[in-house]
Amino acid sequence: MRSVEQREQAEKVRQLCASRAVRGWERHVSLVQLLQSSMADVERRWSAGSGPLADVLLPAQLSALTKALFQNNARRAALLQTINSSPPH
């Protein structure tokens, strides 16, 4: 049986191979993760326009996804304000 480190390393290798073979793979993986995320996760991964989500999504795209995924409340409004006020990446 393989150790946790070996499995993690094998997954990293698979991700690297997929990213080279499939155009837009990183974006696809980020979207899948976004669909499973909480608002706090989205905010952390956006990180004022400098996080990993900013590498694959424009602010307008993330705003639209946020509106579609999360209930309209003050917390979502604050997140949307953060996303929309981020400088272009």
Is the confidence at residue 16, as pLDDT, over 80? no
Neighbours of 63 (CB within 10 A): 16
3-state SS assignment for residue 58: coil
Contact criterion met (CB below 8 Å) for 26 and 56: yes
Domains of the chain: which residue ranges? 4-84
Q: pLDDT digits over 64-88, tens only?
A: 999 999 999 999 999 999 999 887 6
Tokens of 4: 């946790």
Chain-centroid distance, C-alpha 86:
15
**Whole-angstrom Cα distance, residue 67 to residue 32?**
16
End-to-end CA gap in the chain: 43
| Residue corresponding to tokens 């150790």 | 3
Pairwise pLDDT comparison (7 vs 77), residue with the higher score: 77
Q: pLDDT digits over 20-41, tens only?
A: 776 778 888 888 999 999 999 9
Neighbours of 85 (CB within 10 A): 10
